[in-house]
Every structure is written in C-alpha cells, then in structure tokens.
Amino acid sequence: MTVPSWNLSVAYQGLDDSKIEQDIELVNQCLEVLRSYQNGRDQVSVMQNAIQTNEAAGKLLATISTYANCITSVDSSATDAKALLGRIAKLSAELTQAFTPYQDSLIQASESFVDDVLNHASGDVAGQAFAIRWLRKQAKNRLSIEQEQLLSAMEVDGRDAWGKLYDNVTGTLKVDVKYDDGRSEQLGFSQAASVLYGTEFERQQPVWEGIQRAMATHKETFAAILNAISGWRLTEYQKRSKSDNIHFLEPSLHQSRITLDTLDAMMECANDNKALGQKAGRLMAKVHGLSEMKPWNHLAGMPAKEGEQAKVYPFEEAIELIKAAFEKVSPEMSEFVDTMIANGWIDAASSENRRLGAYCTKFAATRSPLVFMTWGGSRSDLLTLAHELGHAFHNWVMRDLPLCKTRYPMTLAETASIFAENIVRDYLLDNASSDGEKLEMLWEELSSCYALTINIPVRFEFERAFYQRRSDKELTADELCDLMSETWQRWYGDSMTESDPYFWASKLHFSLSSISFYNYPYLFGYLFSAGVYAQREVKGSSFYLDYLNLLRDTGSMTAEEVVEKHMAMDLSKKDFWQQSFDRVSKKIDYFESLLDSQ
C-alpha cells in the first residue's frame, strides 16, 4: 500500500461533472420555494416544508463545498475549485437569507406552535428539536430579518474573504531554509511545518527559522487578516447587544454548547496543573540532551538512542497498527478502518501546494467521512492519523441519524478523535518489548500533555487578551508578537524560555473566519476523552455500546447534558477536570521512573 490519495467519486466525478450544475440548480429551486412561501410561515405545514427544503438545499451545498475544499486542500492553486467555492459561499449566504424569516418565526413562536411543527414523520423536521431549542436561546441577540439577511450577504466578501486570503497566502507560501554548512532548500509551508513534527532534528531549527522569516515577510498581511476578522466580530457583537452587552466569548461558548462556568472550571484547573505540563516538557528536554525545550522541537518525535534511527512508519504499517488497536475496543472499529481504505476516503500523499494541517470532513449527501493529512512516517503522524480516523468514526456511527442531529459542537467533536489516539498509544505501550520501547510510546503521552495542557492555554489566553485590546484599537504585527511571547513565557515557564513570536501568524486557527477561539475545545476534548477512556475498565463489556450512544447524543445535547447523562458528573466543577489531570500525571511519572532507570 502506498500513501493514499482521495477517491472522491462517491460525490462527483470531477469539477466538470454535470451533476454539480444540476445540484446547484436544485438549490436555486429550493431558494425559490423558500422565498415564495415566506408570508405563510405562521402555518405549521408551511414551516415544516420550509425546514425540509432548507435541509435539502443545505445538504447539497455542503457536499459541493466539501468536494471543492478537498481539491483545494491537495492543491491550493486549483483555481476552478476556488471559483466553485466562491459560488457556493454566495449560494449558502442566499440560503441563510431565504431561511432567516422562518428562523425568526421559530424564535418568536409559542411553544405549542414549535411542538406542532416538530410533530412530523420526517426526521429532517422532527429531529430539529434541539437545534430549535438552542436557537431560541439567542432570541435577545437577533437582529431584524432584514439586518440578519444583510449581515449574511456581506460576510461572503467581508469577514470570510479574509479567511480565504490567509488560506491563499499560506497555501502558496515558500519557506527558504538555510543550513549552517551552506546548503539551502525551498519548501512549501505545509512541508516545512511537517518537518517540525518529525525526527530530522538537524533540520528543525533551520526550518523553524525559515518559517519565522516567511511570517515576518508577510507579517503586515497576517496582522491585517487577524485585525479585520476580529474587528468584524466585535462590531457584529456590538450591533447585536440590544438588551445585554455580548461578551466576545459568548458566541464561542454558544457554538461549543458549554457554559462560562464550565470553561472557567477547566481553565482554572489547567492553571492549577500547569506544573504538570512543564514537567512533561523538562523530561522531553532531558531526552533531547537539553536543559529546556525549544520552539522548533517541542512538536518533534522522540530522539532515537545513540546509534539507532528514529522509527519511520510506512503508511501500511501504520494502518495495521491502528486497526489492531481499534480491535481491542471492538471489531467494528477495526473494520471501519478497512472501509476508509477500501473506499479511498483518506488523502495523505505529500504535495507542494498542499494545505497545512490535518482534518476530517464528510460528504453530507452520502455521509462518507474523509480524512486529510500529510504523511511523513513519524509516530506523531501515526497518532494524527488515528486522531482523524477517530473523527471519521464519530461521523460514521451517526450516519443513520437525520443530518440535523449530527451537528455536534467543537468541544464534543474531539471526544472520539482523542479517544482514538489514547487507544493507539496504549496499544503501542502494551506491546512494547523493552523499557526503551515503553519510553518511546510514553513519549507521545508527554508530547500530548505538553501540547494540550500548555500550548492550548497559550492560544486561548493570547486570543482572549487580543480581543480585549482589539476592542480599543488594531494591534500591529509587532504588538501581536509581543503579546504572543508574553503569553508563551507565562505558560511554558522554564521548560521553554524561548518563545515562538509569530505563532499567531503561522497557526491557521487564529485566522478561521467562521469560528473564534478554536483552541480550548482541544483541551476540553483531551481531558473529557481521558474521563471517557477511563470508563473502559469500569464498564468492561458494556463500554462499547455506551460509548456509541454517547457519540450519537453529541449532536442533540449540550456538553453538560452529555456528561450528566453518560457519566453522572458536573462539568462546571473542577473535580471533573482534575480526575483527568491525575490520570495523565500517572503516565508522566511512569515515563520519569523508566527514564531514571536507564
């Protein structure tokens, strides 16, 4: 098996497939239906038909958008795909505008009217109960119908255009790498970032320095993007603050389906346990033969013993390892990996103009999950693949539910992915034949702890401080660098005294136009998954079915409701989060004892 590329034919045969235009025409017909019956939206049957029509159009648009996004992920210079994304973005905005009057009616309607609407044979309608309940919570922040429609129309070429600019710049960005011996090379940005996750340690500092130079060259562009997106959001929040002022965290909390009390409890617990993450970093530095970690090696794999080469996994071996680990939970999980491979739903082959990072998506029309990453063969890549396959499995077990009941929040989105990582980590640890191999496997525990309990809070606190300052003025690129360095040093402490000043520019998450604070959900998922994972031993043979039911509930409950139902615990209490830190602490202590005995 070579490193695979996508087979996207389950959706379309190519960008010139006539079915794309046929589906766009169907969307236009749906738009016409929604516009024609707006005046009758006080009638139950009209509202039910509108919901079905909106769902049908949304499914088609999501499928086309995913298809075009998949193509641009592999080749960011694919102009035809980018043009199609532009068309779909405008159509999506038109759909939002056409359905806005119906949404407004659902928000303002009586409970009895909503109950009558939900009393329908179609799951696309009956399954909307949670979505409508959650929508009604934002009633006080709704603008008039005309204002909501105007805002949606302007986002395409306003807020979202800045996010596209970031993708275009980084997708074609070249990183010039200079080595001490006079050699040099030029890498695409995603290729350069991939080096930092591998084990070519002699390349990492020069590559990181090359990335820093590239970020510095484009710093004014990146600063403009960040200021524009945040400025748009803050202005929108101000306009929506009709009865109460909307704090910049509120929209993120609503999207994440958690309360501020839950977020505060988690972040306070993270701060209480900051020394644990720093300890993980110091142990990693010790293995590197350093007094502290560096911004170019804190994501890297474990250094090989003297005279040995770091393990490089062929893609086929990685797949077999993941399958064997998943098998320990259930044969269905292992068979699912075969399904992903057989259908060509994984793309991991390196390419020059490739999108940065890794992700999982799906075709809404067929419920086919899709995984994207850039395979380098490191153990980190192995766990990234497991992570994304965990996301894919989450989507797969919900494929029979109405699409409206599968839209889970970012916080719960990380449940299955990090759970999958934990499965693979423990499998590798259980099958290690020596203390040296156990150290290699536990390294990933340290790496995850360092990244998720230290780096994620850095991102959150940076973004929170940025929004506080952005309320008064735009921040220059240099001010953003200073803010990042201050936050970095506060969390990393003596485990890494040199900061990554351009992390705000090189990290895609800060420039996502549709989502703010795309950071703390990773810490949430890491700690929450640790709690779920611990239930394997407690529940034994009943665990797998309970786990599936938990995943299936993530699209129609708040995070607090999911935890209360399936774990009988309270997310707003630090005790919930501390139990996960305690579990991680045991793994780090185990690593330390093995290292000391070498």
Coil, helix or strand at residue 305 = coil
Mean pLDDT calculated for residue range 112-139: 93
Please give the Cα distance from 275 to 541 (Å, whole number).
36
Contact status, residue 100 vs residue 149, Cβ threshold 8 Å: yes
Q: Which residue is associated with the tokens 């989507």?
A: 395
Lowest pLDDT segment from 165-174, 306-315, 422-431: 306-315
How far is it, in rounded angstroms, from Cα 595 to Cα 598? 5
d(CA 290, CA 288): 5
Return the half-sphere exposure (C-beta side, CA atoms, 13 A cut-off) of residue 400: 5
Rg (CA), the chain: 24
Q: pLDDT per residue over 491-503, tens digit each?
A: 999 999 999 999 9
As a dihedral over the C-alpha atoms of residue 14, residue 15, residue 17, residue 18, rounded to 10 degrees, the angle is 170
**Residue 371 in contact with residue 346, Cβ under 8 Å?**
yes
Q: Are 416 and 550 in contact (CB under 8 A)?
A: no
Confidence of residue 387 (pLDDT cuts 50, 70, 90): very high
Roughly how many angstroms between the first and final C-alpha of the chain, as a whole number?
Answer: 37
Cβ distance 67 to 362 under 8 Å? no
pTM: predicted TM-score of the whole model, two decimal places: 0.85
pLDDT of residue 354: 85
Instruction: Place 1 in a pLDDT band, splitting at 50, 70 and 90.
Output: low
Distance of CA 161 to the CA centre of its chain: 20
- Residue 178 CA to residue 10 CA, distance in Å, equals 44
Give me the helix-helix angle, 559-567 and 543-553, nearest 10°. Answer: 160
User: Cβ(523)–Cβ(270) under 8 Å?
Assistant: yes
Strand partners, 347: 372
Contact 71, 51 (CB under 8 A): no
| DSSP per-residue codes, 312-372 | ---HHHHHHHHHHHHHTT-HHHHHHHHHHHHTT-EE----TTPPSS-EEEEETTTTEEEEE
Quote the tokens at residue 78: 């694919």
Q: Average pLDDT of 300-321?
A: 84
For 231-244, the pLDDT digits (tens) are 999 999 999 998 78
Mean pLDDT (the chain) is: 93
Residue 390 has pLDDT above 70, yes or no: yes
Q: How far apart are CA 385 and CA 348, in angstroms?
A: 9
Phi then psi for residue 372, to 5 deg, are -125, 135
Q: Is the pLDDT of residue 307 over 70?
A: no
The pLDDT of 211-230, averaged and rounded, is: 97
* pLDDT tier at 432, thresholds 50, 70, 90: confident
Instruction: Say if residue 272's pLDDT is above 70.
Output: yes
Q: What six digits make up the tokens of 68?
A: 């075009």
Instruction: Tell me the per-residue pLDDT of 325-370, one tens digit each, with 9 for 90 and over.
Output: 999 999 999 999 999 999 999 999 988 788 878 999 999 999 999 9
> Sheet holding 368-372: strands in order across?
346-347, 368-372, 359-363
Query: Which contiguous run of DSSP H or E holds residue 34?
Result: helix 18-36
Q: Angle 520-539/260-272 helices, nearest 10 degrees?
A: 80
What pLDDT does residue 16 have?
Answer: 95
Q: Are 27 and 59 in contact (CB under 8 A)?
A: no
